[in-house]
């Protein structure tokens, strides 16, 4: 799986100074999100996916979280990315795109992971077409953020930091 963000050669367990590695958040994007910047700016804003990833990465740095990014237009690849993140990361932020509305395979994959999952939508899916108002993944995630455009990813990083601190304190 080709991941962007943290370099593969950075050890997961500890950095050079022996400090524990920061928690790793995988940010997964589903179908058509590679078209951001040109696709339906009224709903999705004018930022590209790369610009949104940069924002999320910067927010992660501020909060001491490492971020990695993955985009696919294919349902099975997104399922595999969720499974892999469940083994390798401490949190998942996912925008499943249209798979949100019908992919029970993706919902099952999310349900099977044991780490916090935040679902993000750039647009307010409840204020659009009828078919977008149902999220089959929603019952399986920890929290949902919708309608804040690119800022939703920043808020999702904040939320993830909160969840991880809460778990650490428990």
- In the residue annotation, 126 being an active-site residue is answered as no
The closest of 94, 107, 159 to 134, measured between CA atoms, is 107
Question: Rounded to the nearest whole angstrom, what is the least distance from the CB of residue 128 to ligand DQA in the complex?
Answer: 7
Strand-pairing partners, residue 20, are: 14
Q: Among residues 73 and 142, whose Cβ is nearest to ligand DQA?
A: 73
Where along the sequence are the contacts to ligand DQA (CB under 6 A)? 32, 95, 97-98, 100, 121-123, 125, 132
CB of 146 vs ligand DQA, minimal distance in Å: 7
Quick one: CA dihedral 13, 15, 82, 143, positive or negative? positive
Catalytic residue among 29, 44, 71, 153: 44
Answer for the pair 91, 160: CB distance below 8 angstroms, yes or no. yes
User: What is the SS3 assignment for 46?
Assistant: coil
44 is an active site residue = yes
- Cβ 80 to ligand DQA, closest distance in Å? 19
- Token pair recorded at residue 26: 């995988």
- Closer residue to ligand DQA in complex, CB, 90/95: 95
Q: Look-up: residue for tokens 């309608």?
A: 147
- Enzyme catalytic residues: 44, 121
């Amino acid at each position: 799986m080709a991941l962007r963000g943290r370099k593969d050669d950075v050890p997961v367990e500890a950095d050079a100074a022996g400090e524990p590695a920061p928690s790793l958040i995988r940010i997964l994007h589903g179908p058509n999100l590679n078209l951001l910047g040109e696709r339906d700016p009224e709903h999705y804003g004018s930022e590209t996916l790369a610009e949104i990833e940069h924002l999320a990465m910067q927010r992660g740095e501020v909060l001491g979280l490492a971020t990695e990014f993955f985009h696919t237009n294919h349902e099975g690849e997104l399922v595999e990315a969720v499974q892999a993140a469940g083994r390798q990361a401490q949190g998942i932020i996912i925008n499943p795109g249209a798979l949100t509305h019908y992919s029970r395979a993706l919902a099952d994959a999310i349900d099977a992971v044991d780490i916090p999952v935040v679902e993000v939508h750039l647009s307010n899916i409840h204020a659009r077409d009828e078919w977008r108002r149902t999220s089959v993944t929603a019952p399986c995630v920890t929290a949902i953020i919708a309608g804040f455009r690119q800022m939703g990813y920043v808020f999702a990083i904040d939320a993830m930091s909160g969840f991880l601190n809460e778990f650490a304190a428990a």
